[in-house]
Amino acid sequence: MPVPREMFLSNVWRDGIFKDKVLFCTGGAGTICSMQVRAFVALGGNACITGRNPEKTEKGAADIASVRAGAKVIGIVADVRDMVAMEAAAERCATELGSLDFAIAGAAGNFLAPMSQLSSNAFKTVMEIDTLGSFHTAKAVLPYLVQSVQKHKNSGKEEPTGTGGRIIFISASFHFRGQPLQAHVMAAKAAVDQISSSVAMEYGPHGITSNVITPGPISGTEGMERLSTADARSVKESKAKIPVGRWGEVKEIADATVFLFSDAGSYVNGVVLVVDGGAWRTTGADMGSTWKYPDFFFSGAAVEGVKGGKKSKL
């Protein structure tokens, strides 16, 4: 079902700014990444999304393509943990769509678990999907991004061929101040931030920009299903702790993406752009009304009431 434009894009952006450009996005059928890709396609681009679930990936590609008449969106089944698969996906994207100008490393995994219930295998899985997956994505797309920026110069002036040669990594803010129940994700996302920094320094001389977008609590996403319960009291308390007093909208992450890919973001490189209403400034050890700190850790209880919150074996 087509998504109304106002749900994924503000009206400040000029149509056609990504005309004939191509975006490669891992985890592109997810609730946040799909909206980022949708915004790009709505503004004239074509795209390739990857995922492990064939049905979800192919259906997601078709749904995104519906946003603009004539849009081309390819869904490729590929596991970000497999370097060979990612290289093949990037090659197919560039071959079938004519180029690969932008990339989003968005594949991720998360769940709530205290260290006492976090198995080595569960920790390893998140590290492989988030960190190794981001590294594989960058390695696979960078040769194409170099080609793109050679055609679409990063000069600081508005080039007639538009922009290109840019990559965004999707991260989280848990490691900024520390967050209980998120040891695995804090480790993984801290590494993702530094992969982006390395790309910014090493490929900046080519004209490529590499940045991180760090979403905060975003309404209606898979992430919020996994990280918060749905009871009204918990939701109200969560929103009250955010300086702007609400959860974010997926449109706000998509808008940040358009900014970094557009002419307006040409000189932004090596930055972690936090889009969370100021939430990371006021959160940390406080886990809300459901899992009180530090009582929860003395209780030995399992995380319950959230998607994927089952107790892990030691």
* Structural domain harbouring 86: 5-299
Q: Compute how many other C-beta atoms are within 10 angstroms of the C-beta atom of residue 313.
A: 9
Say which of 171, 210, 266, 312 is annotated catalytic. 171
Distance in angstroms (rounded) separating the CA atoms of residues 77 and 89: 8
Residue 308 covered by a domain: no
Does 311 map to a domain? Answer: no
For residue 257, the domain's CATH number is: 3.40.50.720
pTM of the model: 0.90
Check if 189 is active-site: yes
SS (H, E, C) 144-184: HHHHHHHHCCCCCCCCCCCCCCEEEEECCCHHHHCCCCCHH
255 lies in a domain? yes
189 within domain boundaries? yes
Domain annotation covers residue 109: yes
SS3 99: coil
Count: domains in the chain: 1
Whether 213 maps to a domain, the answer reads: yes
Site of tokens 């919150």? 309
Gap between the Cα atoms of 270 and 144, Å rounded: 19
Q: 47 forms bridges with which residues in the sheet?
A: 23, 73
Q: List the catalytic residue out of 99, 134, 189, 251.
A: 189
User: Domain for residue 288, yes or no?
Assistant: yes
DSSP assignment of 249-309, as one string? -HHHHHHHHHHHHSGGGTT--S-EEEESTTGGGT-SS--TTTS-TTHHHHHTPPP-SSTT-
Per-residue tens of pLDDT for the chain, all 314 residues = 578 888 888 888 999 999 999 999 999 999 999 999 999 999 999 999 999 999 999 999 999 999 999 999 999 999 999 999 999 999 999 999 999 999 999 999 989 999 999 999 999 999 999 999 999 999 999 999 999 999 999 999 989 999 999 999 999 999 999 999 999 999 999 999 999 999 999 999 999 999 999 999 998 777 666 666 667 777 788 888 888 889 999 999 999 999 999 999 999 999 999 999 998 988 666 666 677 777 877 888 888 877 766 454 43
Residue 304, in any domain of the structure = no
Structure tokens, 293: 């700190």
Active site residue 153: no
